């Protein structure tokens, strides 16, 4: 079975532009979460979607938005890019909410976004 897949793997944008990152969860998983990892730091929670509804939002500005589609894939959108948005964006999926005993959160390989 395929793991969590994210696209693209790398992206270069300039300040003020808009970007869309995509995530496909593991087959059967209904929860998708997004994290931002700035170099040298731990990941920070951005959003969680479960059954196509937003279930949580981290401390990020309104320039960040996301959605989940009927097939449970997800998009993260960032408008008016700033230099500080340069980071690795990670997607994680799981089957249930809350996480059950012995269930795992699986991460994708991430999208490296560079804002120039």
Partner 1 sequence: AQTVTQSQPEMSVQEAETVTLSCTYDTSESNYYLFWYKQPPSRQMILVIRQEAYKQQNATENRFSVNFQKAAKSFSLKISDSQLGDTAMYFCAFLGLQGAQKLVFGQGTRLTINP
* Positions that interact with partner 1 (CB under 8 A): 31, 33, 35, 37, 41-45, 48, 50, 55-58, 88, 90, 92, 94, 97-99, 101, 104-107, 109-110, 112
> What token pair was written down for 39?
């170099």
Least distance from C-beta 41 to partner 1, angstroms?
Answer: 6
Nearest CB to partner 1, comparing residues 38 and 80: 38
Nearest CB to partner 1, comparing residues 76 and 90: 90
**52-73 burial, b if ≥16 CB within 10 A, otherwise e?**
eeeeeeeebeeebebebeeebb
Nearest CB to partner 1, comparing residues 68 and 80: 68
Element (H, E) at 111: strand 111-115
Least distance from C-beta 16 to partner 1, angstroms?
Answer: 27
Is the CA virtual torsion 60, 66, 72, 73 positive or negative? negative
């Amino acid at each position: 079975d395929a793991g969590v897949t994210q696209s693209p793997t790398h992206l270069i944008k300039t300040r003020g532009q808009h970007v869309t990152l995509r995530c496909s969860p593991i087959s059967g998983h209904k929860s998708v979460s997004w994290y931002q990892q700035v170099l040298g730091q731990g990941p920070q929670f951005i959003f969680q979607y479960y059954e196509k509804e937003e279930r949580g939002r981290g401390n990020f500005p309104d320039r960040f938005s996301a959605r989940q589609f009927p097939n449970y894939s997800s998009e993260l959108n960032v408008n008016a890019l700033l230099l500080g948005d340069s980071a690795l964006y990670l997607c994680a999926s799981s089957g249930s909410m809350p996480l059950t005993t012995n269930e795992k959160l699986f991460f994708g390989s991430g999208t490296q976004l560079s804002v120039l």
